[in-house]
Structure 1
Amino acid sequence: MMHGFIPPQRFFPYLTWTEIQAMKNKENVVIVQPIGAIEQHGPHLPIIVDSAISMGVLGKALGQLEPEIPAYALPCLYYGKSNEHWHFPGTITLSATTLLTVIMEVAASIYRAGFRKLVLMNSHGGQPQIMEIAARDIHQQYSDFCVFPLFTWRVPHIAKELLTPQELEYGIHAGDAETSILLSLLPDHVRMEKAVREYPQGLPENSLLSMEGKLPFAWLTQELTQSGVMGDATAATQEKGDRLLASVAEGWVQVIRDIYQFRQPTFT
């Protein structure tokens, strides 16, 4: 089925053009663009991880959303900017310019159809900045277009209850959280017998600088890990993944509600 994890009644491409033309209250309909990546996630996970998480979380959230709140999912943008992983076979990467152009042109099409609320739901840690640039430029071009550059994992969730402090800080790729969620979403495609525990190597000690903190440095994955994993994949369980998935999806239900009620601030 083309809709995958998305409830079919919430999958935008299943609508006809006449249904879209006749849709009421289009200025408040929430259109969600899931954005992932096709990139290595260690020897145990498929390269579709980020895209699967976007679609899995969004599908569960839309399934729980009140029917009276109009919200639709676009097809996932499976390819992202993944050049930090390109030394690992199977990674497919777009340039920042290409990804930005695709997002801008999708947004223009959505605006032209009469919609005025677009969510960029990104699940890949290598491209939040592109979402932010796109959102600002889209809103500058169309002042009545509300655009939300959101990262899937930044909604309230229970990861702190399930992961170790070390994992919360350094388990940023193919570790406990992502492996657990894939065990929940795509259990037949997780090779737990190949799971490894490997944290980033050679990080600066006693320094204000870090990989993804307030004062980051640029890095490539092959500089920090041999396996492609940054975290403890061996600690993952499906039960943990079920709880994480439910928690993140619940956060997204609230986010979509808030976006439906959102009005762009104006200075008067």
Structure 2
Amino acid sequence: MEPDVTATGRTAWGSHTAGEIREIASRDGSVLVVPVGSMEQHGEHLPVSTDSVLVAEIAALGAERVADDVPILVLPPLWSGYSPHHLSFGGTVSLEFDHMHRVLEDVATTALENGFDALLLLNGHGGNVSLLNGAVSTIGTAQPDVEVLGLTYFRLAAEFVGEIRDSELGGMGHGGEFETSLMLYLREELVGDGDRPATEMDEPYETGISDMFEGGPLAVYRGFEEYSASGAIGRPDLASAEKGERLYDRLGDELESVLRDVHDRNRS
């Protein structure tokens, strides 16, 4: 599945006619998934589309897992996110915070006119988290008859990633072991050959974030050049396609469970 409007498959919004979309949305407990990614640098070995590719793939996997039982559609991903902290490296396209918030509201408002019972904003970029949480609140307020939810897909891996990773704390960051493994499995042709220069996460505040799956309560803004000369954080040298396949399958299990729960809770 490509992260664009040409995506095909029974759960892809763009594969259906307007009438088919309305019919799916009208079924009891229908769910609409909106993947939200980014277009930003991911070091010297991963493409700038990494977040958008991965969130689109995980969304499609979860939706396909439940499609026999759940009326569900997945929109093409919003491919540009909130990424001002990556701009100094080049290759990054970022939306303004308020603008992106409005885009999410507009996409949700118009898509929900088709009659869906639930909306899941599925996020694939750490810099989008606070914005996405805010959008859940404002869209939910404007759509009182719809269950509005937000989820950052990679956080679904927190319970099992320790069974798969080889890196120590700090090895799974931006462009690190986690994302590189998934890309090696899903889009090996887009992963650069040779060295994968990166810096392990070193946040000076003990209550700040120390890994994709370990973070304290303190939010800190820093440009990415303060963390890494290459733009990548973690241990991409420990990544493998085999790990990526295991991560992909387990993420599919977790998202399938979430989607089934959303469907069940929104049936009349």
What is the TM-score with the length of structure 2 in the denominator? 0.89
Give the corresponding residue for 1:189: 190
1:247 aligns to what? 250
Matches within 5 A, 1:130-141: 130-141=131-142
Asked whether the equivalents of residues 27 and 117 of structure 1 are also in contact (C-alpha less than 8 Å), the reply is no
1:224 Cα offset (Å): 1.0
Query: Superposed, which structure 2 residues align to 1:90-239 within 5 Å?
Result: 90-156=91-157, 158-164=160-166, 166-167=168-169, 169=170, 171-201=172-202, 203-204=203-204, 207-210=206-209, 212-239=215-242
The alignment-based identity, stated in percent, is 27
* Cα distance, 1:25 vs structure 2: 3.9
The alignment partner of 1:193 has SS state of: coil
Conserved? CA contact 1:159–1:244, under 8 Å: yes
Write the letter of the residue equivalent to 1:208. T
Larger mean CA deviation between 208-217 and 185-194 belongs to 208-217
CA shift in 2, pair 1:225/1:39, >3 Å: same
Write the letter of the residue equivalent to 1:33. V
> Closer, same or farther in 2 for the Cα pair 1:85/1:15, shift >3 Å?
same
Letter of the 2:18 counterpart = W
Q: Give 1:109 shift.
A: 0.6
CA offset digits 1:76-110 (Å, max 9, x no partner): 11000011101011011011111101100011112
CA displacement 1:123-166 (0-9 Å, x = unmatched): 00011111111111111112112111110112255311122463
What is the TM-score normalised by the length of structure 1? 0.89
22-31 vs 225-234, greater mean Cα deviation:
22-31
Structure 1 alignment gaps of length 5 or more: none
- Which secondary structure state, in structure 1, belongs to the residue aligned with residue 127 of structure 2? coil
Query: Is 31-40 or 141-150 further displaced after alignment?
Result: 141-150
Q: In structure 1, give the amino acid aligned to 2:255.
A: W
RMSD: 2.2
- Deviations, residues 50-92 of structure 1 (Å, cap 9, x unaligned): 0111111122222322512111110111000011101011011
Q: Give me the whole-angstrom Cα distance separating, in 2, the residues matched to 1:3 and 1:200.
A: 29
- Aligned equivalents of 1:225 and 1:32: distance in 2? 33
For 1:2 and 1:166, the matched residues in 2 are separated by 32
Separation in 2 of the partners of 1:210 and 1:21? 42
SS in 2 for 1:41: coil
- The one-letter code matched in structure 2 to 1:123 is G
2:264 aligned residue: 261
SS in structure 1 of the partner of residue 88 of structure 2? coil
Q: Rate the CA distance shift 1:44–1:151 in 2: closer, same or farther, 3 A.
A: same
Q: CA deviation at 1:192?
A: 3.8
How many positions carry a matched residue from both structures? 261
SS of alignment partner, residue 67 of structure 1:
coil
Which sits farther off after the overlay, 53-62 or 225-234?
Answer: 53-62
Structure 2: stretches of 5+ with no match in the other structure: none
Report the Cα distance in structure 2 between the residues aligned to 1:247 and 1:116, rounded to whole angstroms: 27
CA 1:175/1:209 → structure 2, altered by over 3 Å: closer, same or farther? closer
Post-superposition Cα deviations, 1:165-195, rounded to whole Å, max 9, x if no partner, equal 634x452200001000000110011114131
